[in-house]
Structure 1
Amino acid sequence: MSRATVEIPATTRAFLTRPRTATLTTLRPDGTPHVTPVRFTFDAATGLARVTTRAGARKARNVAAGGPTAWVALCQADGFCWVTLEGRATVTADPGRLADAVRRYTVRYRAAPPAPPDLVVVEIAVERVLSPNDGIPVLKAK
């Protein structure tokens, strides 16, 4: 099975590198949305967004409970300029993936993320990008 990646305009990629806070929307086990502010990174080359958090945080538990079909939305806004990244998410405590997420976060926000003992990374395989600024990019199979 090929993994879809999203081609996005350079202006959108640049917007997603600004050190801003976003909101992450996950679904609780009862189906209601849970929205929380987060800091994140996005790798346009791989189509992967990352959010570091505690394993016990509601957002991580929601993603874990959703299994392989856990769909999330990550939205960064600045005034009327916004970009939403949507895709399937997983939670991992893999040391290599955590180190990569922390490194990317530190570069983007110029400070390391909090480091609780139960640190995990929510990885979002972005399948859809929504933005009124550049239109909706086309998905391409990799």
Structure 2
Amino acid sequence: MRRAGTEPAATWEATELPAAARAFLVGPGTATLTILRPDGTPHVTPVRFTLDAATAPMRVTTRAGARKTRNVAAGGPAARVALCRADGFRWVTLEGRATITRDPVRPAEAIRRYTARYRAAPPGPVDLAVIEIAVDRVLTLNL
């Protein structure tokens, strides 16, 4: 018998996101978002996020001038990020390509999902932007 927290991490393609991982991600909570700076060092920041259960993109609302947004922009079309949500010995990390959108429809959808999840609207900066993550790798532990 293994002790809690000793099971090896599991890896899935985004299309194979297990139901337990999906339930863990849609529950209330925050995560860390890791993005590489232009000099290659990691920038890790706590974020609130939403998951579109049907198509699996993760969304983080932020300011267009925020460091995380500038780091994604600096990475260009190849920008990759990792979003990790942990609770004790359970965690899910989602990796994928990140893009920034200021298209008014996409931020509106992100705000709608954020408000439904966290029961409050996100801060409303004038320079609102949304980082969308096309998840292509999922790692989990103890889910």
Q: Indicate whether the TM-score tops 0.5.
A: yes
Superposition TM-score, scaled by structure 2 size:
0.88
Q: Considering only aligned residues, what root-mean-square deviation do their CA atoms show, in Å? A: 1.1
Shift of 1:42: 1.0
Structure 1 residues not aligned, in runs of 5+? 135-142
Q: Please list, as runs of the form range in 1=range in 2, the aligned pairs for 1:5-84 lying within 5 A after superposition.
A: 5-84=14-93
Q: Deviations over 1:61-106 (max 9, x none)?
A: 0001101100000000111110000000001111000000000001
- What is the CA–CA distance in structure 2 between the aligned matches of 1:91 and 1:69, rounded to whole Å? 12
- What is the CA–CA distance in structure 2 between the aligned matches of 1:106 and 1:115, rounded to whole Å? 12
State how many pairs are aligned.
131
2:9 aligned partner = none
Shift of 1:44: 2.8
Shift of 1:10: 1.0
Contact 1:52 1:122 in 2 (8 A): yes
Contact 2:89 2:142 in 1 (8 A): no
Secondary structure of 2:106's counterpart equals helix
Structure 1 runs of 4+ with >2 Å offset: none
1:104 aligned partner = 113
The sequence identity of aligned pairs, in percent, is 74
Q: Deviations over 1:19-61 (max 9, x none)?
A: 1010000010000000000000111321200000000100000
- What is the CA–CA distance in structure 2 between the aligned matches of 1:84 and 1:122, rounded to whole Å? 16
Q: Which has the larger radius of gyration?
A: 2
